[in-house]
Amino acid sequence: MDLTPPPTLAELVSPPAGSAMRRRDFIFGAGTSSYQIEGAARADSRLESIWDRFCATPGKVLRGETGAVACDHYHRWREDLDILARLGVDAYRFSIAWPRVMDEAGRPNHRGIDFYKRLLGGLAERGIRAFVTLYHWDLPQHLQDRDGWLNRGTAWRFADYADLMSRALAGHGDVAAWTTHNEPWCSAYLGYGDGHHAPGLKSPRWAAQAMHHLLLGHGLALPALRANAPRAQHGIVANVAPGYADSDTAADRDAAHLFETFQNRWVLDPLLKGEYPADLWRYWKGCEPAMQPGDMDIIQRPIDYLGLNFYSRALLRSAGPDTMAWVRRPDVERTTMDWEVYPQGMQDLLEALDREYVRLPPLYITENGMSSHDAISRGEVDDVQRQAYIKRHFAACSRAMENGVDVRGYFIWSLLDNFEWAFGYERRFGLVHVDFDTQKRTLKRSALAYADFLRERAAG
């Protein structure tokens, strides 16, 4: 007879005993982004974004769904902040919708700005720190009409936007951290390289140029952010993944190296080394971006932290010289995004980045989570796979910290089921289930376990 007591609710997700993640100064949170949850697409003079236009284009988004309503967070923000308070998180990571806060001439839209002032005030009232992202992919369409991130001028418009928002929100609840861009790799490659995301353009040359201007905008924004919010941390968030060779051949090892160059170093080398990785141009021959003298000095301005979004790994084989092919193994656990569940990849990646970059700043895991087919049964959502996913990734992060990697916080993606970009509402990442017909929120068992763990940590 097995007399082992069943795990407590907190133990379903909690880090291992003795983990540095259990320290009181380690930040736990949850994240969202503006277009994925806010809705209110035409409220209070909000302008059209590239995602509004993309969603309105037939065939671009599953079932033709849009973010026009999403989670209606614009009107239900108080309820959502109460959920954050119930979870007991230290911090909330959210993004500002650029089209909501400025008009086409660059003047402030005070009604849109007031929404974020209320949000910051509500977080302060609940004792929750704000991690604010300026750009989570919803570029104003009028800028895209002038070539978007292919236009060097957009980097300066972004710096103007960062200056406006960091001045406008000063004194309206404390912003603990400002993030310039979320996942510039996605904005550049998925938006301008393969067309899977807005604005739907397809050229590796365009992707390389868009990336350069995104990173330039990041660097240009930093002086204003530091001047207007001197007590905050300032950084950027990259989506990263480790590449593993399908076999121990030199060709497959090179394919894994090319993947990590394309996925990770394309963003991190300019930020932390002041140069693009040479091997990227082996993969994308002749696609080097147009640059001006001094650009790399601007891009590599020091940052206070680097956010890392981690979901899975890639398994690679060679498809010929300077090329790679993804390998899909059929016998592994996957999420409904068809991403392999591979927690060890988080430890491997964190430790590899720590070895590779001399200038690596303190790290935050700014996104980690999974999509699953979550349904309410008898008023509950018992998302068993997500509970195990969180626990195993907490353990992987803990091992990396034990080995010397400086990780300061961890944000689960996402707070709410939401609009999952080109997949519409089919893929559910939330700790909280959202009925998109009624907007009813239901905390999943993973959320209840997360809350119990955070209560235990606070009490200890």
Question: Mind telling me the catalytic residues?
Answer: 183, 367
Beta-strand relationship, 243-245 and 314-318 = parallel
Residue 233 annotated as part of some ligand binding site: no
- Establish how many alpha carbons lie within 13 A of residue 106's alpha carbon, considering only the half-sphere containing its beta carbon: 12
Residue 418 annotated as part of some ligand binding site: no
Distance CA 33, CA 415 (A): 10
Burial class of residue 354 (count of CB atoms within 10 Å of its CB; 0-12, 13-18, 19+): middle
Structure tokens that stand for 30 in this block: 């949850």
Distance CA 1, CA 19 (A): 31
Residue 182 annotated as part of some ligand binding site: yes
The answer to whether the peptide bond before residue 199 is cis (omega within 30 degrees of 0) is yes
**What's the start-to-end Cα distance of the chain, in Å?**
33
Q: Show contacts of 102-105: CB within 8 Å, 24+ apart.
A: 102/47, 102/140, 102/161, 102/164, 103/45, 103/47, 104/47, 104/140, 104/142
The closest of 393, 395, 374, 355 to 445, measured between CA atoms, is 374
Residue 218 annotated as part of some ligand binding site: no
* Dihedral sign from CA coordinates of 263, 264, 265, 269: positive
Residue 234 annotated as part of some ligand binding site: no
Residue 403 annotated as part of some ligand binding site: no
Residue 420 annotated as part of some ligand binding site: yes
Q: Which residues are annotated as a binding site?
A: 36, 136, 182, 311, 413, 420-421
Q: Which residues are annotated as a binding site for substrate?
A: 36, 136, 182, 311, 413, 420-421
